[in-house]
Amino acid sequence: MSTITEGELDVAAAWGGDQLRSSETWIDHWSDAEIAELQAQVAKHPGVGLGDLPDLGPDDLALPALDARFARWRTEIFEGRGVVLVKGLPVERWTDDEAAVAYWAIGQGLGLPIVQNPEGHVLGHVTDTGRKADDPNVRLYQTPDNIQYHVDGAAVVGLLCLRTAEEGGASRIVSSVTVHNEVWRRRPDLAPELFGRFPIDRRNEEQPGEDPYWMIPMARWDGTRLRTFYHADYMDSSQRHHSAPRFTPAQAELLDLIEEIGADPDFCFDMDLEPGDIQLISNEVTLHARSEYVDGPDSRRHLLRLWLDRRPDGNRASCDGTRYGMRARP
């Protein structure tokens, strides 16, 4: 079991819903000069499709006018609240491939894009593929269904909204540090369970010789920073495997309590992403979820997703990139 915190933590990442609702200090907007620089990169790489993006590195997509802004975002993501919303990318004037080039350039400036799924995608499409959430082999972002709180397998997850659904699809976020604090406040007897190991369903992506689940501590505390890994849907579905450890009564109580805290408006924040919005969140200190949605004939929800880690040389990223030993997950 990892070192356990002794009570609540007073840090910038321990925010509540009202703090985000009452302030726009975590929201940023592009300047005309920055849009012009992004437009120049789009024009510089005509005909580039999603499959070609991995061939374009930071030297190919230099954005010097954005370096100071990237530095501020990294500070807010890794040392502050852990949440940044950037509004106004002009996706309406670009094709989807052109928007992908601009977004890829932004990601390269912020950190190191990493693989998100077994297909090797480094820029993912978050849209309804017609698959069903009750299929244990399905990644939930490929469906329009509700997704419970979770984190992804990278230091940062970024979402660029291209188009919205006709109804629903809100992104809900909550500080995992605040959840930790509230567990300590409400149920100090359960708080040590935050640092215990939980089974996570591999969703039939295991390699030969691997168990169909893997075990991971939910939280880690190094005396300075709290890092949390949580995935409600995959924790729950791990129990379909007879070989997976059953949740103890205390673990089951803790999971229910986390969901209860996460649904409380005092702690969570619902975000309706608009076309051109980019949501950037630290997976270490922020849990995110999504409400179910309904597409219309002329309004099919479509987001582009990046997973970012720190560059090995430390360039353009300041997160330590701790991956908890996991591979790509939803």
Are 157 and 67 a contacting pair, CB within 8 Å? no
Are 112 and 183 a contacting pair, CB within 8 Å? no
Position 173 in a domain:
yes
Position 6 in a domain:
no
Are 217 and 197 a contacting pair, CB within 8 Å? yes
Identify the domain containing residue 294 by its residue range: 17-309
Q: Could you tell me the two tokens for 223?
A: 């005396």
Position 137 in a domain:
yes
Q: Distance between CA atoms of 180 and 133, rounded to whole angstroms?
A: 29
CA distances from 134 to 80, 109, 206, 209, 233 (A): 37, 37, 19, 26, 11
Position 219 in a domain:
yes
Q: Distance between CA atoms of 22 and 161, rounded to whole angstroms?
A: 23
Could you tell me the pTM of the whole model? 0.91
Position 316 in a domain:
no
CATH number at residue 300: 3.60.130.10
Radius of gyration of the chain (CA): 19
pLDDT at position 313, please?
Answer: 57
Chain CA centroid to CA 100, Å: 18
Q: Distance between CA atoms of 235 and 246, rounded to whole angstroms?
A: 10
**For the segment 246-284, what is each residue's pLDDT rounded down to a tens digit?**
999 999 999 999 999 999 999 999 999 999 999 999 999
Position 5 in a domain:
no
Position 276 in a domain:
yes
Q: Distance between CA atoms of 226 and 297, rounded to whole angstroms?
A: 44
Position 8 in a domain:
no
Are 324 and 216 a contacting pair, CB within 8 Å? yes
Instruction: Count, in order, helices (H) and strands (E) of the chain.
Output: 7, 17
Q: Could you tell me the two tokens for 286?
A: 């922020």
Beta bridge mates, 147: 290
Q: Could you tell me the two tokens for 147?
A: 């997704």
Q: Distance between CA atoms of 107 and 116, rounded to whole angstroms?
A: 14
* DSSP symbol at 170: -
**For the segment 207-236, what is each residue's pLDDT rounded down to a tens digit?**
899 999 999 999 999 999 999 999 999 999
Q: How many domains does the chain have?
A: 1
Note down pLDDT in tens along the chain; length 330 residues. Answer: 448 999 999 999 999 999 999 999 999 999 999 999 999 999 999 988 777 888 899 999 999 999 999 999 999 999 999 999 999 999 999 999 999 999 999 999 999 999 988 878 899 999 998 887 777 667 788 899 999 999 999 999 999 999 999 999 999 999 999 999 999 999 999 999 999 999 999 988 888 999 999 999 999 999 999 999 999 999 999 999 999 999 999 999 999 999 999 999 999 999 999 999 999 999 999 999 999 999 999 889 999 999 999 777 544 333 333 333 334 344
